Structure 1
Amino acid sequence: MSLSPDHDAAWRGFLRSSALLLRVLDAELRAEHGMTHRTYDALVQLSEAPDRRLRMKELAEALVHSPSGLTRVVDGLESSGYARREVDPANRRATLVVLTPAGLAALEAAWPTHVRGVKRHFADQVSREQARVLAEVFGAINADLDEV
């Protein structure tokens, strides 16, 4: 079984551009805010969660990046004062990660850098029509993978 040349080119292009884009966005966040893209991702997920808190398992599932090393990421959030761990009162065996006001402030400071990078390295390279097609394509892929 093999891919068509068009599918192979699309797949390889996706892999390379997504890896390069994440690398560049990470470098920009590190340079301007001393924050990794993984940290930014965790802060975004926490900021969008109800009451700005998630169980560790929920945070792992929500992250764009691989959940491996999540404990280290949360340790870093805690040591920076961006989040704290709490025992989940609904399930004393579960740990909640709670966004702190300092974490929200750090996210709000880093957000313009992230958006500027996404605009420059992605949106400025893609027409509105191409973006619509990409959104449709990745929506279909995500819907299929959500079923797995």
Structure 2
Amino acid sequence: MSLSREHDAAWRGFLRSSALLLRVLDAELRAEHGMTHRTYDALVQLSEAPGRRLHMKDLAAALVHSASGLTRIVDGLERSGYARREPDPANRRSTLVVLTPEGLAALEKAWPTHVRGVERHFAAQVSPEQARVLAEVFRGITTNLEDGPPPAS
């Protein structure tokens, strides 16, 4: 089994462009805010969660980046004062990650840098029609994977 030439080119283009884009966005956040894109991503997920808190497993599932090293990410958030761990009052064996006011302030400060980078390195390269097509394509892929991919044969 092999991919068509078009699918192979699209797949390789997606991998390369997404890796380069994340690398550039990370470098910009580091330079301007001393924050990695992984930290930014975690702050976004926490800021959008009910009560600005998530269970560790839910934070791992919500991250755009791989959840590997989640403990290190949360350790870094705590060291920076951006988040704290709390036992879940409903289940003391479960840990919540809670966004602090300092974490929200850091996110609000970094947000314009992130948006400017996405505009410059992504949106400026993609027409509105291309953006609609990409959104539809990625929505379909995401829905398929969230529903659970079929078992490998």
For the aligned pair, the TM-score class normalised by the smaller chain equals over 0.9
Count of residues paired in the alignment? 148
User: Scaled by the length of structure 2, what TM-score is found?
Assistant: 0.96
Q: How far does residue 147 in structure 1 lie from its aligned partner after superposition?
A: 1.1
Aligned-CA RMSD value:
0.3
Q: Secondary structure at the match of 1:68?
A: coil
Residue number in structure 2 paired with 1:74: 74
Distance (Å, rounded) in 2 between the aligned partners of 1:50 and 1:95 = 15
Q: Does 1:7 align with 2:7?
A: yes
Residue number in structure 2 paired with 1:54: 54
Q: How far does residue 61 in structure 1 lie from its aligned partner after superposition?
A: 0.3
Structure 1, unaligned runs of 5 or more? none
Identity %: 84
The amino acid of 1:66's aligned partner reads: S
CA shift digits 1:62-100 (9 cap, x unpaired): 000000000000000001000000000011100000000
Residue number in structure 2 paired with 1:89: 89
The amino acid of 2:71's aligned partner reads: T
Structure 2, unaligned runs of 5 or more? 149-153
CA shift digits 1:33-68 (9 cap, x unpaired): 000000000000000000000000000000000000
Residue number in structure 1 paired with 2:144: 144
Distance (Å, rounded) in 1 between the aligned partners of 2:41 and 2:109 = 14
User: Scaled by the length of structure 1, what TM-score is found?
Assistant: 1.00
Distance (Å, rounded) in 2 between the aligned partners of 1:90 and 1:60 = 20
After the TM superposition, which segments of 4 or more aligned residues of structure 1 sit over 6 Å from their partners? none
The amino acid of 1:68's aligned partner reads: S
The amino acid of 2:131's aligned partner reads: A
The amino acid of 1:133's aligned partner reads: V
